[in-house]
Amino acid sequence: MSNLSEFIGGGIKSVQSGTTGTSSSIDVTLATAIDPAKSFIMINGTQHNVGGTSAPAYGRAEIIDSTTIRITETNGQTLGFITVNWTVVEYY
């Protein structure tokens, strides 16, 4: 049976997390630079308030560079607002 260290090369180097809210898109500066080629981002959950529209708001997260991630509300409704709990994991 495989374990996580076999897939990510020996272990976790750093973990950074936070909570960010947006109604469109926002860039978040990480406290410590990461190697984007050895990192991934997870969204731990989103909450939405779409202000009268029946279409739910969802969040998307991406690593832009070594110090920046981008959180985007994907519904496209100007009244939508999401709160995203994110975690960036960097491995060796």
Q: pLDDT digit string (tens) for 30-47?
A: 999 999 999 999 987 666
pLDDT at 3 (0 to 100): 60
Nearest alpha-carbon partner for 30 in 64, 68, 63: 68
Give phi and psi for 88, each to the nearest 5: -105, 125
Measured distance CA(79)–CA(54) in Å, rounded: 11
Q: Global pTM?
A: 0.79
6 has pLDDT over 70: no
- State pLDDT tens for residues 46-92: 666 555 555 666 788 999 999 999 998 876 655 567 888 999 999 99
